[in-house]
Every structure is written in C-alpha cells, then in structure tokens.
Amino acid sequence: MQLWTRRKFFVNSLAGSALAGAGQLLGKTPGIAGSEEGTIFRAPANTAAGGVRPVIISSANGLHALDKGMDILKAGGDTLDAAVAAVTVVEDDPNDDSVGYGGLPNEEGVVELDASVMHGPTRRAGSVASVQKIKNVARLAKTVMERTNHVMIVGDGARRFAVAEGFEEQNLLTEHSRKIWLAWKAKTSFNWRPGIDSPEWKDYMTELFDGDAEKIAYAEEKIAHPPTGTINCLAVNAKGEVSGTTTTSGLSWKIPGRVGDSPIIGAGLYVDGDVGGAGSTGKGEENIKIAGGHTIVEMMRKGIKPTDACLEALGRVARNYNGDKKKLGTFHLFFYAVNKDGEYGGASLWKNTYDRPKPAQFAVHDGTEARLELCKPFFDEIGGDE
Ligand code: ASP
C-alpha cells in the first residue's frame, strides 16, 4: 500500500488543487485500500498494532479526568462507561466554564448543553441538544441510547426525558458565569449599563468585578473572543473496542436553540467499532459542514493514520474558504482520533489554543499517566480567532 505522507496530504488538501484533493482521497487515489472498489468497505490492512491498548484521549480540558476513564478500562470495563465517566468529572466542575455546570450561557443568560455518545461494540448512538437545567448531558445522551428507541432528543423534551429518568434539575449558571454574561451584555448593549445620571456612576466592569483586574481581563477575553467549550473523549480497551462522547455548553452568547456539532452524530463525534473513533472541539458550524467525525473515521478505514486523517478533515474546512487565512483566522477547530489498534492523534487548524500563545494540545492516557501532547497544526501560524 502506498504510504500516506504529510506532504501528499498537503498536496491533496490545499496547495495543489484543494478541490480536486478530496475527490482523489475518496475514491481515485491508487493504492489506498478500498479506493479502487469505491464502495467496498473493509478494515484497514495495516492492523499491526502501532498503538497501545487500552488508551483514552480527550481535548486538553479533559486532562485531569482521564485517570477516571483509564481505571475503568484497566478493570476491563466498557469503553463508553470509561469515556462518559471521564467527561462527567469536567461537567461537574463549577470552575470549568466550558461544559456542564458553570458553562457559559446563551445570549439570554441560560446555560444550554449538547452531547452525544457512540458505542462501538453494539454500534449504537445517542444524543441530546439544547438541554437546560441538566448537568450531565453525556450520561443523558447515553440514557437516550440505552433506554429509548430514538437517537436524538432536543430541547424541553430532552429535559423532561431526563427528569423522567431520574436526573436532577438545577440552575447551571454559576456566579462566575453569570457575571461574565452580564459583562457581555453591558459591552454589547447600551441598555445594560448604568446611565450617566447614576449617582454612583463608574466603569461598569470595575463595579461588576469589584475592581479585580484579573477577573476583568478574563471577562474581556471571553467577550472579545466568545469561547466555544467542549470536551471530546475517545476510549479503546484492551480488546480493541472503541467508544466516544462529546459534551459541551456550545458557543457562548449563542442564540437560544443554536446547536453546534457536538450532538451531531458524524460531526462532533463518530465511532465505527471496526475502525476507530473521532471527535471535535471548536467552531461547530465549520465541522458540521464537512461531517468531520465521519470523514476522519472513513479516512482511517482506508488505512490513514489518525493524525493525518484529522489534518485531512481540517483541509476540507480550509478548502471551504479557498484557504483564505483571514477568514479562517476568525475561528478555531480541533480534531481528535483513535483507531482500534490504539493509535491516536490530534490536529488543530492553528498552532495555538484560544488562550494564546499556548500551543494547541490534547490529552492522552495510555496506562501510565495522563499527559498533554501537541496537536499537529494545519497552519503553522499562531492565528485563530483574531
Ligand atoms: N464545538 C462546540 C460547538 O460548536 C463548541 C466547542 O467545541 O467549543 O458547539
């Protein structure tokens, strides 16, 4: 089989003919397993394990939660139980304003959560979107998968389903998140600031954050660059079974009801037990348009390594803007993937994270300890979310 090199990837994706590249990859490039046959799907030929099993990976914000998942995998537990247990740690954390409890709210100050799960061994999926008042939406998506005849439940129906299944309702807005939302309101609407006739008139940010410069700077950053916050987690056990989950509070200050890629099976998450799994964080709208999770798994099915498959998906996003870095610089996107051999990878559109100038990373636990590894950047520039 012809080797899939990084150089070839770039030729296909952008530099040569970006538009022709995808076509070549998906059917016409000689030497890629299954490509000549077009429709015949089969497991990658190179099943010689280059990876380690069990292994669990996640977006960088899951670093401190991977121990929990690995303990389950080591004890011979189910891969989806492991992934959901890990992300639940982050959903429960009030200090993490990206997912679950304490997530940054929509434009009306209400936290709305989305999540999905896929279970490789039984080839099942579940998802929920725009859920209010329920903190553990990854577990809720798993409950949809296990206890209904549906795959996706949204909005108030999802909340009521959660209550029926014994989930506790609570206000998910913490003081921290509420104040940042109020600051956003004040910055974007003249009506949400005290008028100059106020006897105590002073700078609204100073007043809101009791003059704490660090908190003001943090809020300013979240307002200038509305964060997307998500955790994607993918687990492979010793037997080579694969599952995954993606959970998020979505794009901060979104229009109520906006749904990103996280609960979309095939975009924010995709698992095929014969191949592996992939997931995403970052601007969901861009991922939905290329069905990133599914795209990556299909690349891996053809023998492409996880990191290169993630880069190819980013290539398609770049192609959607004809490689225009100015437009692409208005957002960020990350992909993560594992194959059933335990090989894994992560790639980012830009070299940095949102919190410039940190390099983009993802978290891995392969049985020894959880650590961060660098994402392979699609563009070498710092860029992103300018
Ligand atoms: N992808 C998520 C969304 O668009 C957000 C994120 O990953 O930060 O809803």
258 CA closest ligand 1 atom index:
9
Burial class (CB in 10 A: 0-12, 13-18, 19+), 112: buried
Contact 186, 203 (CB under 8 A): no
Is ligand 1 within 6 A of the CB of residue 279? no
Gap from CA of 299 to ligand 1 centroid (Å): 23
Is ligand 1 within 6 A of the CB of residue 284? yes
Which is the catalytic residue, given 79, 228, 230, 307? 230
Residue with tokens 């992560």: 346
Instruction: Give the Å distances, CA to CA, from 197 to 186, 189, 225.
Output: 16, 17, 31
Is ligand 1 within 6 A of the CB of residue 106? no
| Least reliable range by pLDDT among 10-24, 102-116, 203-217, 229-243 | 10-24
| Annotation says 230 is catalytic | yes
Could you tell me the domains of the chain?
A: 55-172+227-379 (3.60.20.30), 175-223 (no CATH)
- Partner residues linked to 377 by β-bridges: 348
Confidence of residue 135 (pLDDT cuts 50, 70, 90): very high
Contact 275, 43 (CB under 8 A): yes
Evaluate if residue 111 carries a pLDDT over 60: yes
d(CA 107, CA 69): 34
2 or 217, which is more confident? 217
Per residue in 27-74, pLDDT (tens digit) is: 333 333 333 333 333 333 333 447 889 999 999 999 999 999 999 999
